[in-house]
Amino acid sequence: MLEQIDLTKKMSKKEFKARMEQLEPELSRLQRTCREQKLPVIIVFEGFGAAGKGYQIGKLIHALDPRGFTVYSVGSETKEERMHPFLWRFWTKTPARGHIAIFDRSWYRKVLIDRFEKVTPDPGLSEAYKQINTFERQLTDDNTVIIKLFLCIDKKEQKKRFDKLLSSKSSAWRVSHGDLKRNEKFDEYKNMNDQMLEHTDTDYAPWTLIESMDREYATIKIYTAVISAIRRALAGHSETMPSAKTTQNRQTVSFQDNILRTSSLKKADLSLDISRDEYRKKLEHLQKKIAALHGEYYRRRIPVVIGFEGWDAGGKGGAIKRLTEKMDPRGYQVFPTASPNDIEKVHHYLWRFWEHLPKDGHIAIFDRTWYGRVMVERIEGFCTTAEWQRAYQEINDMEHQLYQHGALVLKFWMQIDKEEQERRFRERMDNPDKQWKITDEDWRNREKWDEYEKAVDEMLVRTSTTYAPWIIVEGNSKYYARIKVLQTVADAMENHLKKK
Amino acid sequence: MLEQIDLTKKMSKKEFKARMEQLEPELSRLQRTCREQKLPVIIVFEGFGAAGKGYQIGKLIHALDPRGFTVYSVGSETKEERMHPFLWRFWTKTPARGHIAIFDRSWYRKVLIDRFEKVTPDPGLSEAYKQINTFERQLTDDNTVIIKLFLCIDKKEQKKRFDKLLSSKSSAWRVSHGDLKRNEKFDEYKNMNDQMLEHTDTDYAPWTLIESMDREYATIKIYTAVISAIRRALAGHSETMPSAKTTQNRQTVSFQDNILRTSSLKKADLSLDISRDEYRKKLEHLQKKIAALHGEYYRRRIPVVIGFEGWDAGGKGGAIKRLTEKMDPRGYQVFPTASPNDIEKVHHYLWRFWEHLPKDGHIAIFDRTWYGRVMVERIEGFCTTAEWQRAYQEINDMEHQLYQHGALVLKFWMQIDKEEQERRFRERMDNPDKQWKITDEDWRNREKWDEYEKAVDEMLVRTSTTYAPWIIVEGNSKYYARIKVLQTVADAMENHLKKK
C-alpha cells in the first residue's frame, strides 16, 4: 500500500482553519451520538517514528469530551503482560459501549517494532497476523468501530525530525536507539510495515494512510477519516441516524475531496515523452529481451499474470500489442475482458478469471481485469457497496495465491488526462478504421471521470501490494507509455527470476 | 471434534424407509427451489476411507434431477492441475447459480491425504488452511451454500471393510496401498483429520459429522444435513421461501431429532460408581499429586485454565472444592460466572473472561464459563442466532490463543440424568443449609432440559478440540465424578509437562 502514497500533500493554514471549524464540532456531535447509541470506538495510531502520532492524538482529543475516551500508550510488554497471551493487554482495554479507546501504537507493535527487534520471531508472524485479524473481527462483529490510521513520512523527513529532537536536551529523550536504527534501515522497516498493511487491511477494519509530512494536512485527513468511519457505522447501527444536521455537513467531510485522496495518481507527470528514434531503438531491444526471458520462464515453468487497466483510450491495446509482438504465441494468451456473458454472470465474479489463469511457464495478459468489480461495477451499481468493499481483499487474496504458487503478477494503470482522452476519442471518430473503437458508452463513462478517479485512487492504494504491485504508466505520450510498460515487464521478469 | 462422536448409532430398516419417504421428495422440491431462486450449492464428502462416500453420494443423487447437479471425484492433481495454484481446479468447478456441485473428496485432500503422503509439507499447512477458508468465505459471501459432510468409522470397521473389498477381485482395486497405510496409522491420520476440522469448521461453512458405521443411519443424517442447510439458506436468500409445504415437513427433517445428534453425551454411563473407601484413598493421592504438579507448573511458569459446565446440581461446586483443597491458594483462583454485571454487559461477552485469564504459572478455574453464550444465551434469546453460531469459532480462537501461549486448557461437562437432578433439587430444598443453592430459575431451566441437551450436544462437538478438549464426567455418583475430574487434571498436567 505504501508505494502508492503521495507524500507531497500540504495544506495552507487558512484552509486548515476553515476546515477545522467544521470538523471539530462535527466530531464532538458524533461522540455524543456514539454515547447515546452505545457504539464503542477504537482508534489506532500507527506509523513511522516522529510521524507525529502524539501530536495528532492531541489534536484529535481536542474535540472530544474527556469523560468519553481513554488514550493508551503502548510500550514493550511489562513482565505481567508477558505472562499472558499477547492480546490480553488489549482485550482488557477494549472500550465499553459508547466509549472511545485511542491507542498510541497498539497490537501492531507485535508485527512491527517487535519484529524489527526480533522479539517476534518470523515463524510466529503468520500466527500473529491471524490473531490480530481474529481480534478485530470479533470486535467489529460485536459492533465496535475500529479506525486504523497509519502516519507516513519519508526517511529524510524522519531523520530531520530526529535531529531536531536530539538537538535539545528537553526533547532528546524522545528519540530512542531503536528509532535511529529504524531510520538507518528505513527501507527494511518500511517493507515490514507494508507487509503488515497487506495482511491486516480488511473490509471490517480497513487502514487509512495519513500523509504526515505536513501537520495540518494530516490533522484534516485524520479528522475526516474518523468522522466518516463513525458516521458510516452509526448509519448501519441505527435507523435514527444520520440527522439532518450531519447530512448538511457531509460535503465538507468526505473523501470526495480531491485533496484527501491518497494515491500518487494525480502526481503522474503526463508531460513525459521520448522521441520516435529512441522509441524504436528501445522497443526492439526490450522486445528481444522479453522474448528471451519468456523462453527462460517457459523452461523453468514460472507463470506470469499481467493486468491492464486504465482510462478508455488510455493505450492498453497498443501497449499489449508491443508487449506480445515478439513473444512465442504458444506461450502467452491475451484475454480481453468484456461485460460478463450469461454463463459468467451466474458464477462468482472471479470465476472467469480463475478459468483463465495461466499454467506454469505461460503468460496471461488481461486487457481489463477483475478490477472491474471496484470500478465499473462499483460506479454503475452492478454490485452492492458491501460487495465492492469486500472485493479489495478478495482480489488481494487471489493475487497472493498466484504469488504463493510462484507467479509473477503485475498490474498496469494507463493514465492519461481528460483532454488527451477527448483528443483520442475525436481522432477515433474521424478515422473510419478506428470508429469501431469508440462507442456512446465511452462518452458516458467520460462524464463520470471524477467518480472513476475516486474509485481508482482507492483501488491503487488498497491493492498495490509487495507481491502484486500497481504500476502507473504516464500515458499521454504513447511512445513513452509503451516503453515504460515493456521496461517494467523486463525488469520485473529479471528480478523475479533472481529470487527463485 | 472427532473425540466427541458416538459411533454406535444405528437405524432400523423400517425407520429408515419411513424417513426416506419424507426426505427424498423434500430434497427434490428443494432442488427445484434452488434452481428457481438461483442458489448455488456445494456438497463436500470427506471422511475416512471405506466410510461409504461413494455409496452415500449415490443415495443422495437418487433424489436429484440429473440436469441440476454434477459429481466431481477428486484424485491426485494431474500434471496440468499442478501447474496452477492449488485451488484452481476447484474454482473452475464451482457451480453456476441454481446448480449443485457434489465433491467426492475435495480441496481438503491437500491437508489430509496429501499431508499424510507428505505431498503437502507441514510448513505449507497453515497457508493451505487459510486459502481454504478464504475460498469458502468468498463463495458463501457470494451466496453459495457449502455443506460439508465428514463420514466417520473406526479403525476396526475400516479394516473389516477393506478386507471384504480385498477378498474379491472385482472390488480389490478399490483399496489402495495408501488406504492400508492410513488404516495402519489410523490414529495419526485421524489426528490430521481432527486438526483439519478444527481449522475449517466456520460459521459460514460448518462441518457435519456423519456417523457411518451404519449405512442407513448415515444416509438419513446426510439427507437431513443437506435439507436443513439448503432450507436455512433459502430462508435467508429470499422472502418467498419457505412455502407452507416445506414448513409442514419441518418436523421430520430437523436436528431436533434426538437420534441425529452427534456427541457421545447420551452414551455416558451414569451407573459408574466407586466405594467410599476407594474414593477417600484416591482423593488423597490425587490431591497430593496435583499439589506437587501445581508447584512444578508455578516454577516453570505454565498457566492452566479449567472450565466447569454441566447441569444444575451436576456437581461442579463439589468437584472444584476437591480439586483445589490441597492447592496453594496463592497460585490458583476460582471465578464463579454469574449473569454479567452492568460493566460486563457493555463489553464483548468474552471480555470478562479475558480479564480473568491466569498469568503464567497460575491456575484459573471457572465455575461456568464463556460457554454460556452457546447455552443459556442461545436458549433464552439473550443473543441473536448469528451471534451464538459465530461463538463456537470465537471461543475456539480464544482457547487456541491460550494454547499457543503455552497454557493447559481443559473443560469438564458434569453429566447427570434428569431423575438424579430432581433428587438433588429436592434434597436441597429439604436441607436448610442447602436451600440457598436452589432457586426458581433452576426449576425453570429444568423444563428446558431438551433444548439444553441439543445445545450441549452441538457445543461438545464444535468446541472439543485437540488443544482444549471437553471431558464428559459421568456424574450420578459424586464420588466417581470427583475422582474422574481429579484424575483427568492430574494426567493432563503430567502429559502437558512432557510436551514442553
pLDDT tens column, B344-371: 999 999 999 999 999 999 999 999 999 9
Q: Would you tell me how many other CB atoms lie within 10 Å of the CB of residue A269?
A: 9
What pLDDT does residue B263 have?
Answer: 82
Mention every residue, 6+ apart, whose C-beta is less than 8 A from residue A236.
Answer: none
Task: State which of A223, A247, A262 marks the end of a domain.
Answer: A262
Calculate how close chain A gets to B276, using CA atoms only, in Å: 40
Same domain for A348 and A283, yes or no, is yes
Show which of A221, A242, A262 is a domain's final residue: A262
Mean pLDDT on B11-25: 95
Residue B4's pLDDT is 83
Q: Among candidates B2, B55, B52, B5, which has minimal Cα distance to B189? A: B2
Q: Who among B84, B94, B303 is closest to A348 (CB)?
A: B94
Q: Taking CB atoms and an 8 Å limit, are B354 and A92 in contact across chains? A: yes
pLDDT of residue B119: 85
A291/A425 same-domain check: yes
| pLDDT, position B237 | 64
Residue range B247-276: average pLDDT?
72
Does residue B211 carry a pLDDT above 80? Answer: yes
A346/B92 touch (CB, cutoff 8 Å), yes or no: no
| Region for A315 from its dihedrals, namely left if φ exceeds 0, alpha if ψ lies in -120 to 50, beta otherwise | left
- Note the pLDDT of residue A253: 44
The reported pLDDT for the residue numbered B487 is: 98
Q: What pLDDT score was predicted for residue B250?
A: 39
Chain A residues close to B92, C-beta within 8 Å: 351, 354-355
In this structure, are B187 and B331 located in the same domain?
A: no
Option in A94, A139, A348 nearest B142 (CB): A348
| Average pLDDT of span B469-494 | 97
Phi, psi of A207 (to 5 degrees): -90, 145
Instruction: Spell out the residues 6+ positions from residue B219 whose beta carbon is closer than 8 angstroms to its own.
Output: B16, B20, B56, B59, B60
Instruction: Reply yes or no on whether the pLDDT at B255 is more than 60.
Output: no
Chain B residues with CB under 8 Å of A126 CB are 126-127
pLDDT score of B243 more than 80: no
CA distance B85 to chain A (A): 5
User: What percentage of chain B reaches a pLDDT higher than 70?
Assistant: 96
Q: Give contacts of A88 with chain B, Cβ < 8 Å.
A: 354, 357
Residue A154 shares a structural domain with residue A280 = no
Minimum distance, in Å, between the CA of residue B424 and any CA atom of chain A: 39
Give the pLDDT score at A238. 54
Do residues A104 and A177 both lie within one domain? yes
Q: What are phi and psi of B416, to 5 degrees?
A: -135, 170
| Chain B hits for A86, Cβ within 8 Å | 401, 405
pLDDT of residue B436: 84
Q: How far apart are CA A58 and CA B365, in angstroms?
A: 42
Of B82, B141, B404, the CB nearest to A390: B141
Domain match, B237 and B272 both: no
- Residue B171 and residue B82 share a domain: yes
- Do A308 and A389 lie in one domain? The reply is yes
Domain containing A83 equals 2-262
**Strands ordered across the beta sheet of A332-336:** A332-336, A363-367, A304-310, A408-415, A470-474
Q: Find cell 502507473 and name the residue.
A: A472
Question: Quick one: closest CA in A to B37, which residue?
Answer: A346
DSSP state of B59: H
CB contact under 8 A, B85 and A357: yes
All residues of chain A having their beta carbon less than 8 Å from the beta carbon of residue B142 are 348-349
What is the C-alpha to C-alpha distance for residues B126 and B110, in angstroms, rounded to an integer? 11
The 8-class DSSP code of residue B279 comes to H
Q: How many domains does chain B have?
A: 2
CATH number, domain with residue B389? 3.40.50.300
- To the nearest whole Å, the CA of B42 is away from the closest chain A CA by 13
Indicate the residue among A235, A262, A289 that finishes a domain. A262
Would you call A355 and B405 a contact, using CB atoms and an 8 Å cutoff?
Answer: no
- Write out chain A's pLDDT in tens, 500 residues: 898 888 998 999 999 999 999 999 999 999 999 999 999 999 999 999 999 999 999 999 999 999 999 999 999 999 999 999 999 999 999 999 999 999 999 999 999 999 999 888 887 898 899 999 999 999 999 999 999 999 999 999 999 999 999 999 888 999 999 999 999 999 999 999 999 999 999 999 999 999 999 999 999 999 999 999 999 999 876 544 444 344 443 333 455 567 788 888 888 999 999 999 999 999 999 999 999 999 999 999 999 999 999 999 999 999 999 999 999 999 999 999 999 999 999 999 999 999 999 999 999 999 999 999 999 999 999 999 999 999 999 999 999 999 999 999 999 999 999 999 999 999 999 988 888 888 888 888 899 999 999 999 999 999 999 999 999 999 999 999 999 999 999 999 999 999 87
For residues A451 and A326, state if they share a domain. Answer: yes
Tell which residue, B63, B154, B69, has the closest CA to residue B103: B69
Pairing of strands A41-47, A145-152: parallel
Residue range B249-275: mean pLDDT, rounded: 74
pLDDT digits (tens, 9 = 90+) for B306-336: 999 999 999 999 999 999 999 999 999 999 9
CB contact under 8 A, B85 and A127: no
Q: Are residues B463 and B475 in the same domain?
A: yes
Encode pLDDT of B179-192 as tens digits: 999 999 999 999 99
Query: Which residue on chain A is closest to B402 by alpha carbon?
Result: A85
- Give the helix ranges, DSSP H, for A42-124: 53-61, 79-82, 88-91, 113-116
- B368 and B250 both lie in a single domain: no
Rounded (10°) angle between helices B276-300 and B478-499: 30
- Decide if A398 contacts A294 (C-beta within 8 A): no
What is the average pLDDT value for chain B, to the nearest integer? 92
Nearest to A91 among B84, B94, B354 (CB): B354
Q: How many CA atoms lie within 13 A of B38 on its CB side?
A: 7
Write down the pLDDT at residue A436. 84
CB contact under 8 Å between B84 and A360, yes or no, is yes
Measure the N-to-C terminal CA separation of chain A; round to a whole number of Å.
24
Whether residues A352 and A209 fall in one domain: no
